Amino acid sequence: MLLYKKHIATITPLTGIYLASGDVNGVGGLSATDVLLIKKRIATITNSFTVGDWLFNNTPFTVLNADVTQNFNGLTYGDANGSYTPPAAKSMENSAQINENVDNAAIFAIETVNTASGKIIVPVHVSQLQNLGALQYSINYDPASLQFDGIDNWYNGIEDVTIGTPVKGNITFVWAADNDGITIEDGTLCNLHFTVLKSETSSISWSNEPTPAEFSDYNASTFVPTLKDGTIEASTGLKSSENTTVGIYPNPGNGRITITLPESGQKEIKVYSLLGSLVYSQLTDQTSLKLDLSNLNKGIYSLRIVNRDNQNTITKKLIIK
């Protein structure tokens, strides 16, 4: 399965019958949904594929007035490296059912970060996600403005994500669940790490190139979520022409903090754990606010401030000692 993941993420390509063996749902191409179905069959959660068990690279030949010996190569579906040798031929009833385009109101949003230079963290926020079983997608960024440094803080249960960086400006992701689907009502999918190379506004966007986006639930039924792009703002704050710096003091600290906010109007304050769980939420129209988060465990948290009037968002790291 790693070979299929690496092909989808454009890390190591498969060709010929080895590539075709991964299309176990018979839709005409290899995707993360196929990887999910293969995983479920290996774990004996299911016992068949829609396409059956065997694939052959049939080659046409001509029989004239003599005996002909013709060899065909064959693979079991899901066997990318040809390692399986069957002990004996046996029939298996094909009972797999694939339901496509299930209803799912999931929203994947790359958050906007306000900074001028240096290292930044760009959270990918998810809400209303039910029973995620597999995903694959590409994220594009401007390599002249940003340098990609890595990814961490995956939501609890999403492990062994295959990540490709085929060229600067493209990041590809492939993942399929092992044991159960993932539900995220409101949390962080992952954090993208960049170094800002130029103090100018640039975008980070979802893309179908080079890896086309596909999402499915744990039953291998695909769905189409809402995908929202993010922006790296050129200024050091929000769009207000006034002082736009958000202050958090003390940070690090014991959780009793004072926040100075740059804009008037109603703002939403949310604090997330490293696992993406929402641990604090408040609405305020103040420009200076005292919070008592001393009841939280020691560690690193993500503080997100959203202006309800213009939807500008600032994300800050909060450390409780």
Q: Is the pLDDT higher at 55 or at 199?
A: 55
Q: What torsion do the CA atoms of 150, 197, 260, 248 make, to the nearest 10 degrees?
A: 40
Residue 288 lies in a domain: yes
Non-local CB neighbours of 167 within 8 Å, separated by 6+ positions:
none
We report the CATH number of the domain holding residue 312 as: 2.60.40.2550
> Could you give phi then psi for residue 275, rounded to 5 degrees?
-85, 0
AA identity, residue 296 = L
Instruction: Indicate whether 54 and 152 sit together in one domain.
Output: no
Domain boundary among 204, 233, 262: 233
Instruction: Indicate whether 153 and 227 sit together in one domain.
Output: yes
Give the residue numbers spanning the domain of 34: 2-59+69-76
Residue 284 lies in a domain: yes
Question: In total, how many domains does the chain have?
Answer: 3
Q: How confident is the model at residue 274 (pLDDT cuts 50, 70, 90)?
A: low
Non-local CB neighbours of 190 within 8 Å, separated by 6+ positions:
123, 124, 151, 152, 153, 154, 155, 158, 161
Query: What pLDDT, on the 0 to 100 scale, is given for residue 245?
Result: 62
Task: Tell me the average pLDDT across 225-252.
Answer: 66
DSSP code for 16? H
Instruction: Indicate whether 222 and 255 sit together in one domain.
Output: no
Instruction: Indicate whether 112 and 189 sit together in one domain.
Output: yes
Domain boundary among 208, 233, 258: 233
AA identity, residue 102 = V
Domain boundary among 200, 233, 266: 233
**pLDDT tens digits for range 31-50:** 999 999 998 887 778 889 99
Lowest-pLDDT range, 5-19, 94-108, 179-193, 289-303?
94-108
We report the CATH number of the domain holding residue 150 as: 2.60.40.680
Task: Tell me the average pLDDT across 208-215.
Answer: 89
Name the burial class of residue 24, with classes exposed (0-12), middle (13-18) and buried (19+) by CB atoms within 10 angstroms of its CB.
Answer: buried
Instruction: Indicate whether 253 and 316 sit together in one domain.
Output: yes
Residue 280 lies in a domain: yes
Instruction: Indicate whether 229 and 251 sit together in one domain.
Output: no
> Which of 95, 31, 82 has the alpha carbon at shortest distance from 54?
82
The whole-angstrom separation of Cα 237 and Cα 239 is: 7
Lowest-pLDDT range, 51-65, 143-157, 169-183, 300-314?
300-314
Task: Tell me the average pLDDT across 185-198.
Answer: 89
Query: What pLDDT, on the 0 to 100 scale, is given for residue 189?
Result: 94
The whole-angstrom separation of Cα 142 and Cα 167 is: 11
Instruction: Indicate whether 112 and 191 sit together in one domain.
Output: yes
Q: How many CB atoms lie within 10 A of CB 275?
A: 13
Query: What pLDDT, on the 0 to 100 scale, is given for residue 60?
Result: 79
Instruction: Indicate whether 131 and 197 sit together in one domain.
Output: yes
Instruction: Indicate whether 139 and 227 sit together in one domain.
Output: yes
In the predicted structure, residue 89 carries a pLDDT above the cut 50:
no
Instruction: Indicate whether 122 and 188 sit together in one domain.
Output: yes
Are the C-beta atoms of 197 and 145 separated by less than 8 Å? yes
Instruction: Indicate whether 118 and 201 sit together in one domain.
Output: yes
